[in-house]
Structures are given as C-alpha cells and as structure tokens.
A and B are shown apart, each in its own frame.
Chain A
Amino acid sequence: MKKLINHPLKVADELVEGLVEAYNGECRFVGSRSIIKNDIPEGKVALLVGGGSGHEPIYHGLVGRNLADGAACGDIFAAPPPNIVFEATEAVNRGKGVLYLYGNYAGDVLNFDLGAELAEDEGIEVRTVLIWDDVCSAAPTDKKNRRGIAGLVPIVKLAGAASQKVETLAELEAIARKAVLQTRSVGVSMAPGSIPATGKPTFDIDEDKIGLGMGIHGEPGVGQIPMATADDLTVMMLDLLFADYEKDEEVAALTEGDEVLLFVNSLGATTMMELLIALRKAKAVLSERGLKVYDVMVGPLVTCQEMSGISFSLTRMDEELKRYWEMPCQSVCFSKMEGRYGG
C-alpha cells in the first residue's frame, strides 16, 4: 500500500497537527495529542470525545461549533493513553464537569477510566456515556460487549448541540444516553484497510465475499456472505436493524410513523456513487415500512483507511432530539445547516 506519510510512528501526531491547521485558529493542539476548541465559554458543560486515530474524520474531526469541545486522540487504531485523556479533560473543563462520549472498546474504556481518575483527583467531575450501536457485535441483552461504530456521528452531533443548552452534566448525560439508546448501526466489509505504520492489511477476506456485521477494525461480525447487489445487501442490512429494535427490551420496535435519521457511511474506499445507490434503496425500504426519514447523512465519516465497506445507522427521533438536531453545527469535516428537517 502506498501511503503519503513521513514516519510510521508519527502518523497520529502529524495528522492531528494537520487537523489543527485545518481549523485555522478555531482549535489548538493541547498536551501530547489532543485537539481543543478555543472558544469554550466559562460555565459550559463540556463534551469530550476521543479514540484511536486512523478513522478520520471521526473522532477529532467532530470537534467544532455545537459539536464536541475537544478530542483525546489515540495512536492509529489505539485508545488514547490516560495522560492524554486527562490533558484534554483539563483543557475543556469550564467548571461544570466533562462528559466523555466514545465508542465501547476495551482499550478506550480502560484508558478513559484511568484518565477520569486523574481528572477527579484534580476535582473535575467526569461522567461517561459509551456508544455501542453495532447490532452485529453482541446481543441486545449484552450491550457492554457491543462496539461503537458509525452511529457515533449523529450521537455526537446531538450531544454537542445539547451541551450548549444544558445546565448540568447530568442533563447532558441523560440526553447522550437517549441518543445512544435510539441509535443502531450495521456494517459490512468487502476489503480491508491497511495499518499505516506497517502497510499490512487489517484482516483478510475472500474476493467474492462480504463480511456481514464486520467492525471498523475488521472485527468479524455475524459471518461471511457471497458478494451481493447494492439493493439486496441494503435490504438485508436494514432488516438486521429493524430486528434489533424489535428484540431489544430497552427500546420500542420501529413502527409506522416513527421518524428516523438515516446515515449511510463509507468505511473509506467505497465511493459516494455506491453509497448513493444504497441510500436510494434504503429510503425506499424505510418508506415501505411507513418510517419517516427525518434527515439523511451520507459520506465517509467513520472510516478505516482504504477499507471497503458500508454501514447504515438509524436514530429514532423524538421532539427533544429534533430540537438538538435543528441547531446548526460546523467542523472541518461535518456540518449541518440550521433549520427544520423532516423531508
């Protein structure tokens, strides 16, 4: 794999430096490797995201206006160490506490928890909401073993907007939890990405197979299926999402009249052309079910280098979540205009 890099061990540092430059004055580089907004007002409940690098634009690309206040950036595909989490926490804290919102991976949980201990030693209140939207990674009764994938984008957008309005950390935590509970994703992979430092593929898969439910690092999902058409695959994937809302006792089944956000994500190499073909079918499937598409997002936002694959995420909206969705947001990598949505 040809990679435009300088030194294999400096990839993460240099990409975050580049991201800070892309913000052109709105954000700064803090500590060992965090990116922090410059204009966080005093008294604001802070929202901190983070995770391994290499999945750009997430997570650090979701720092911005009405989005996250900062991101603790790990090395490529590795959780940020506790000292980085702590440095980011100190930098975003404005006296009202900090919500950690990140994907549920063992490494992230270990390191963010250790970072939270360091922050609490300094008197900073921290709460954590884990994102576990991948329905193929564990049963609905076993959410602690579910991975966080593309659903984190709408979740961070909603929590970022809410963080501008809430008075307390507990309120923000509750809204983030609701957004997580109502968001479900399913992904597939057709070809691996590569590890920038070694050039090696992250996993192997046969040319004529699709990894159904595969995670963004190539973690196996529910099994391999033969290569399929965009339409057939879209139907199969959305059925897994519908089934999950149905099976999960913590959340209502999706029923006629429900309003959902639809996010069609590319894992990197899958093109906008392919995403749009799948999106067209997805809208038709949702419409047949009587579901109202409140808003659509499409593009490569949660990636794994040149991994080929696609994911669908649904978020069921209610009046409270809609209010936060309608606030504009802006970052270098993800923006939404202000306004009424609803199709």
Chain B
Amino acid sequence: MGKSSLSITEVRDMMLAAAQRIIEAEPILTDADRALGDGDHGVGMERGMTAVKEALGGKDFPSVGKVYVGVGTAMMSSMGGASGAIFGILFRSGGKALGDATEFTAEGLALLLREGTDQVMTKGAKPGDKTMVDALFPAAEKAAEVSGEPITDALSAVAAAAAAGRDASENMIATMGRAKTLGENSLGKPDAGAVSVAIILAAMSDFAAGL
C-alpha cells in the first residue's frame, strides 16, 4: 500500500526532482525535437526547469496548488516559445484548480491534469495532433480512473499512461506547430513535448515511490 497523499513540501521536492530529470534529459529532448522541429525543445526545457529549481528550491508554499502555479510561472517566464506558454498554462491553470489544498491526493492529481489539459487544449491541439496533448490527455483520463487510489499508485498508473501516449504519438502525423509541414514524414518519431510530459510524470512517480 503506497502513501495516500503527499505534503506540500513533498510535492515541492517531487517537482524539483522532475526538474532535475528534465535537465538531465536535455540531449534526448534535443534529439527528439531535431527530428521533427527545430531542435530547441531540449535547451528550452532545460532553461525552464532551471528556473523551476530557482523558484522552488528551499521555499515554503501555503498550498499544493501554489507549488504548481510556481512551476508554471517559472517555465512560462523563462522559456518563451510555444512550449513555455503551453507548460505555463498547464501548471498554472492546473495548480489554480487545486484551490487551498495542503495535501496532494490522487483526486488532486486528477484535478490538476484535467484542468491543465483542458486549458492547453483551448489553444488548439487535440488528441491525435502529435503534440504534448497526446501524453497529457491519456494521463488525465487515467488520473480520473484512479482518483480513489493512494497517490503513489495513481502517479505510477498516470506515468504509464503518459508513456503509452508518448509512444502512440510516433504513429501520428503532425498537424500543429513547426512539425506540421513535415506531414507524413513526421511518422515514426514521438513528439518532443509528449516526451517531456512523460519524463516529468515518470520522475514524479519515481520520487513519490521512494518516499
């Protein structure tokens, strides 16, 4: 039986671990984006997550939601590009949906991902467009399914759903962003944003499992 919920400090440290994992994955993300975009996603994510570490490291937050809003604001204001705006919208709107909660439960995870994914999708991407939504959307669906479980189990299931979504994006044709002009040539490779989402959720799950 895993932990039923995480404290604010644990959530903060979990997001710091996710930030570190993304920074280490820069070469993987760069290569993924070079195949389909202009190759700047890895460096952009590294910059965004470096800003997340600065914004979160050693700080106290009044609620779980504020931690996620902090993640989004740091990414949005440091990265630029489509990814900066989209990750900013994801974590800021998801974090706001958590209200004043001081514990992070599987229900909170479902709320975070549902609201965050919905807001990202208002910018035009839908499942199947070969964007980060292809990792986010199945993750949000899975989170709703497992919202009664301990947070550690829920995170593990959600991370697996995101990874499956990332893999599925390999067989999609890009219709958004700079990759859209590739058409069928975009087949066979995952979307770099979906790769990032899968890495973040896997790192969150690994961190929670180790508590």
User: Which residues of chain A are within 8 angstroms of B50 by Cβ–Cβ distance?
Assistant: 9
Pairwise interchain contact A74-B81, C-beta atoms closer than 8 A: yes
B19 near A: Cβ within 8 Å? no
Pairwise interchain contact B47-A77, C-beta atoms closer than 8 A: no
Query: How distant is B75 from chain A, measured CB to nearest CB, in Å?
Result: 9
B44 near A: Cβ within 8 Å? yes
Taking a contact as CB atoms closer than 8 A, the residue among A106, A111, A202, A215 that contacts B39 in the complex is A202
Contact A75 to B47, CB < 8 A, known contacts A82-B85, A220-B182, A220-B185: yes
Q: Which residue on B lies nearest to A9, using beta carbons? A: B47
Q: Which residue on A lies nearest to B76, using beta carbons? A: A81
Query: How distant is A285 from chain B, measured CB to nearest CB, in Å?
Result: 27
Q: Which residue on A lies nearest to B44, using beta carbons? A: A78
Contact A84 to B80, CB < 8 A, known contacts A145-B180, A195-B39, A220-B182: yes
User: Which residues of chain A are within 8 angstroms of B180 by Cβ–Cβ distance?
Assistant: 145
Question: Secondary structure of the A side of the interface?
Answer: loop
A8 near B: Cβ within 8 Å? yes
Interface residues of A in 171-230 (CB under 8 A from B): 195, 197-198, 200-203, 215, 217-221
B194 near A: Cβ within 8 Å? no
User: Which residues of chain B are within 8 angstroms of A221 by Cβ–Cβ distance?
Assistant: 181
Pairwise interchain contact A217-B178, C-beta atoms closer than 8 A: yes
Pairwise interchain contact A74-B80, C-beta atoms closer than 8 A: yes
A76 near B: Cβ within 8 Å? yes
Q: How long is the Cα–Cα vector from A198 to B41 in the complex, in angstroms? A: 11
B21 near A: Cβ within 8 Å? no
Q: How many A residues touch the partner, as a band?
A: 35 or more
Pairwise interchain contact A198-B30, C-beta atoms closer than 8 A: yes
Query: How distant is A128 from chain B, measured CB to nearest CB, in Å?
Result: 15
Query: How distant is B38 from chain A, measured CB to nearest CB, in Å?
Result: 4
Q: How long is the Cα–Cα vector from A75 to B50 in the complex, in angstroms? A: 15
B77 near A: Cβ within 8 Å? yes
Pairwise interchain contact A198-B43, C-beta atoms closer than 8 A: yes
Taking a contact as CB atoms closer than 8 A, the residue among A8, A110, A215 that contacts B86 in the complex is A110
- What is the 8 Å Cβ interface bit string for chain B, positions 21-46, against chain A (1 contact, 0 not)? 00000000010001001111011101
Q: How long is the Cα–Cα vector from A240 to B11 in the complex, in angstroms? A: 55
Query: Interface on A for B, CB 8 Å cutoff?
Result: 8-9, 32, 52, 74-84, 105-107, 110-111, 114, 137, 145, 195, 197-198, 200-203, 215, 217-221
Query: Interface on B for A, CB 8 Å cutoff?
Result: 30, 34, 37-40, 42-44, 46-47, 50, 76-86, 88, 123, 176-178, 180-182, 185
Provide a sorted-by-A list of 14 A–B residue pairs whose CB atoms are within 8 angstroms: A9-B50, A79-B81, A82-B77, A106-B176, A195-B38, A198-B30, A198-B39, A198-B43, A200-B34, A200-B39, A201-B34, A217-B37, A220-B181, A220-B182
